[in-house]
């Protein structure tokens, strides 16, 4: 199993340079509204700014989340301001597996940090259907 945790901001219009400066992070990816994205090459309906930390086979998923949360907690005031300014500010978890069965454990401390930041987390599980 592999994937990534991404801190994501979504809105109709994001000032990418200002946001990067305010949060003091270089984005892993920016998507501009109207840009062709994805495998289907559809137009992006919104601007998206994201910072990601990836994990791969053998890495502990919850420790990867903890690493991202520690980074974000030190920027909690800026994140709270972003939450008021933009439509969506959240963490996305993307899990990719060739098999359908998986388990994830999140600690109470991780949920406490999400609450402290005032953001939620979306989980996206992508399975490539090799399970019998």
Q: How far is the C-alpha of 69 from the C-alpha of 54, rounded, in Å?
A: 14
pTM of the model: 0.88
Which pLDDT band holds residue 100 (cuts at 50, 70, 90)? low
Q: What is the pLDDT of residues 68-84, one digit of tens each?
A: 999 999 999 999 999 99
- More confident site: 31 or 60: 31
Question: Which of 116, 14, 30 has the alpha carbon at shortest distance from 72?
Answer: 116
Q: How many whole angstroms from its chain centre is CA 71?
A: 13
How many C-alpha atoms does 131 have within 13 Å on its Cβ side?
A: 10
Annotate 2-18 with b (16+ C-beta within 10 A) or e (fewer).
ebbbbbbbbbeebeeee
Mean pLDDT of 26-38: 93
- More confident site: 11 or 105: 11
**In degrees rounded to 5, what are phi and psi of residue 34?**
90, -15
């Amino acid at each position: 199993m592999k994937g990534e945790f991404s801190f994501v901001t979504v809105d109709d219009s994001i000032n990418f340079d200002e946001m990067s400066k305010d949060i003091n992070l270089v984005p892993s990816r920016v998507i501009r509204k109207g840009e062709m994205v994805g495998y289907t090459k559809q137009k992006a309906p919104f601007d998206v700014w994201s910072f990601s930390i990836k994990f791969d086979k053998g890495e502990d998923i919850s420790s990867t989340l903890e690493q991202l949360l520690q980074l974000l907690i030190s920027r909690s005031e800026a994140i709270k301001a972003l939450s008021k300014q933009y439509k969506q500010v959240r963490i996305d978890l993307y899990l990719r597996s060739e098999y359908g069965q998986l388990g994830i454990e999140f600690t109470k401390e991780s949920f406490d940090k999400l609450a402290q930041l005032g953001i939620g987390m979306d989980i996206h599980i992508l399975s490539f259907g090799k399970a019998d």
